Structure 1
């Protein structure tokens, strides 16, 4: 899955800081396992255990925040929804995301919330600048099972890529070129392992039918 432009990492808009060291802050089956041309703006690939924030609906956000033990701002939902506009404004960001199957099949208190969330993902996946892929559990172990990440690329600012890694103690932004190159190779390998964008859409459609 997104410089003088403001990245949407963890999707809190902020100016890209000057470079520093690490800062705190196969397609086997398409059925789910039971249980105008956009400008070249930052490309935002990501793989996560939850549905990525840029694709979350309001009710899904409220459910996630209600069950989270991490402190959050009282206006967190409004802030997230506002940041999502970066994917649908007149100069949308290119967004490539890999979503783990578990994030789409985990039970929620209200099944309607997840069904509406799945429909929203299908709507976003139909946009030309958004690529959605599903990583099936049957794909087996891979390099991002333990931790999701976000890679921000700025085509008009070569050498200013940023790796964003959320973790239990908070978040880290990494600008080390070697680590960023490693993350990019990992993402490319994950994209090859996940369902294709077309098959991912069909998988979500089947999930809506069977859920």
Structure 2
């Protein structure tokens, strides 16, 4: 009798584990399929696909005529590791349905004779045309900013396609003490600069 009970409990345990694993697989693959469908700029089942996600490099001259190079990395909104963690949790439809499919984060560094400026970026692609984008810049560490300087403020009217990304940079001037400054009589403060970036190969 005890053997039958033990066997029955073991069977129920096996069924519970199987159902749990099946639920995990279902949530994980549903999340992935949803991203392929709604965020083709960030995800693809084609390993060779050209996505906005990745590393980009370019150069520009700031309003003070300082030559600078920019390295930009657009991060995937959700990594496979994060996707797995979400799938292992109790099902919450909102966790998959309310996440903004058009937003992204990333990092950027700008190098010049002044030093290296480190930024975090956050932005979005347009819903109706995901080849268009805009993003803003935030310093990684306020205490390590390169000042005085025309620092990056935002990138507007951007477009990307295959291996090329073009955007217009807006700047904010900061004194050595970190305070911002605007002078409408000085054309440098309203100057916008177009920068062309190229995709950086992952094997570089």
Structure 2 length normalisation: TM-score? 0.25
Larger helix fraction of residues: 1
Larger strand fraction of residues: 2
User: Rg: which structure is higher?
Assistant: 2
Structure 1 length normalisation: TM-score? 0.24
Q: Which has the higher contact order (CA 8 A, sep 6+)?
A: 1
